[in-house]
A and B are shown apart, each in its own frame.
Chain A
Amino acid sequence: MTTNTAPFRPMTAGSQPPNDTPEYGSTRLRHPTRPLLRIPQGVTETTSPIFAESRFPPIADLSMATGKPALGERIIVRGRVIDEDERPVPNTMIEIWQANAAGRYDHPGDQHDAPLDPNFHGEGRVFTDTDGWYQFVSVKPGSYPWGNHYNAWRPNHIHYSLFGTGFGQRLITQMYFPGDPLLALDPIYLSVPDPAARERLIARFDLDITAPARALGYRFDFVLRGRNATPIEQA
């Protein structure tokens, strides 16, 4: 197998949230004030770590992590990881974390007065197949209050982390659910300038993914940055 070391294309204008987003209060003291230094992409930027399932075992059913069912509305999330040239990204690791159905994280820092579920931890890890498809089972996370402004609530969301094939493709994002009235009020969701780009963070309900008498299905695809040149690679 050869490694593609072609540089990544710049991000499309408006598709990424600026770190200086005053409506999200925690950005105030954390965003750099100097312009970013544009650097030439070398092997450090164009290659990425490789995670083998043997060392990083999948956790593909968050709803049964203890062997007993977690409380909440069971869901199946399925989709593809592709790049901007719509080529599948095979065998790549996706890390997943989320609140339980009551909107509480199994995390010592979460002091929201909603119940923990002894059968839900909220950590997952899956790998795409040879055609870029992934799938996992969970429960729909609840919304939860946060301190950003008076009566602030995060829309239902699942957190994801992807590595892709180059460190310049590293992606950490959140997936939202269709029809959530909190989306229009959420400064994190609204931080993405282009409305079409932020709407792509909303999963689509999908009856074909829905398992009869078992779980509601949602479709969610990830797109990783494309590369400038596309040399032919043969194993």
Chain B
Amino acid sequence: MAVATANQTIGPYWHLIEDASWADLTRFGAAGDRIVLTGTVTDGAGDRVTDAAIEIWQSSPPASPDFPAYGRCRTDGTGAFRFITLKPGPVAGVGNAQQAPHIAITIFARGLLQALTTRLYFQDEPLNETDPVLSLIEDAARRRTLIAQPVAPGAWHLDIRLQGDNETVFMEV
């Protein structure tokens, strides 16, 4: 058996492969419930992380020629990112379990030797109460680090804290 290749940091110069259009998952003409996802990334000192690559991947709606279901966006000079995508619906889980609508988020940056993975959920989704991942988090304040808040019609916001007070729940997949 072979062993998986070691990860190494994406470093500060990954923008050489950046295509800003990747932040718009509707660019190939996908139709559906279009939403804007915004957020910021801060470090353990509360400073904005301005050189990260944020990736999103969702299994609902499923990927198709019109909808890559995957996007990548830089954090800008204020540590902010912004995606345009389609709002996910419930996702089948193990057995009969239904997962609440969610989007996987992966964070790469200088100073991260391997990616951090988390999930974004949506405030006021009834399935959040029984979601098999959210249910693993006993502390309600910790659970809230994964719940995006509505900031305008069709616009959702989630702040990601890499370290310290209110540290985002990161996951081992």
A97-B49 Cα distance, complex, nearest whole Å: 21
Tell me whether B6 and A197 are in contact (CB under 8 A): yes
Q: Name the residue in B8, B69, B91 with the highest tally of chain A Cβ atoms < 10 Å from its Cβ.
A: B8
A206-B133 Cα distance, complex, nearest whole Å: 47
Q: Name the residue in B112, B132, B133 with the highest tally of chain A Cβ atoms < 10 Å from its Cβ.
A: B112
Count residues of chain B with CB under 8 A from any CB of chain A.
64
B17 within 8 A of A: yes
Q: Name the residue in A21, A32, A38, A49 with the highest tally of chain B Cβ atoms < 10 Å from its Cβ.
A: A32
Q: Smallest distance from the beta carbon of B6 to chain A beta carbons, Å? A: 4
A214 within 8 A of B: no
B7 within 8 A of A: yes
Query: Looking at the complex, which one of B1, B4, B99, B162 makes contact with A29 (CB distance below 8 Å)?
Result: B162
A131 / chain B contacts, CB cutoff of 8 Å = none
Q: Name the residue in B2, B102, B164, B168 with the highest tally of chain A Cβ atoms < 10 Å from its Cβ.
A: B2
B47 within 8 A of A: yes
Per-position binary interface string of chain B over residues 151-172, scored 1 when its CB falls under 8 Å from any chain A CB and 0 otherwise: 0000000000011100111111
Tell me whether A223 and B3 are in contact (CB under 8 A): yes
Tell me whether B5 and A26 are in contact (CB under 8 A): no
Which chain A residue shows the least CB distance to B172?
A: A36
Describe B's contact surface by its main secondary structure: loop
Tell me whether A173 and B172 are in contact (CB under 8 A): no
Query: Looking at the complex, which one of B70, B93, B168 makes contact with A49 (CB distance below 8 Å)?
Result: B70
Tell me whether B2 and A29 are in contact (CB under 8 A): no
Q: Name the residue in B69, B94, B172 with the highest tally of chain A Cβ atoms < 10 Å from its Cβ.
A: B172
Tell me whether B162 and A107 are in contact (CB under 8 A): no
Tell me whether A43 and B162 are in contact (CB under 8 A): no
Can you identify 10 A-B contacts, CB atoms within 8 angstroms?
Answer: A12-B4, A30-B44, A30-B163, A39-B173, A43-B91, A44-B59, A49-B68, A171-B4, A173-B8, A224-B4
* Residues of chain A whose beta carbon lies under 8 Å from any beta carbon of chain B: 8, 11-12, 15-19, 21, 24, 26-34, 36-45, 47-50, 55, 82-86, 95-97, 99, 105-107, 109-110, 121-123, 125, 159, 161, 167-168, 170-174, 188-189, 191-192, 197-198, 200-201, 222-226
A-B pairs with the 8 shortest C-beta distances? A26-B111, A49-B70, A17-B113, A30-B111, A29-B44, A36-B172, A97-B16, A174-B8
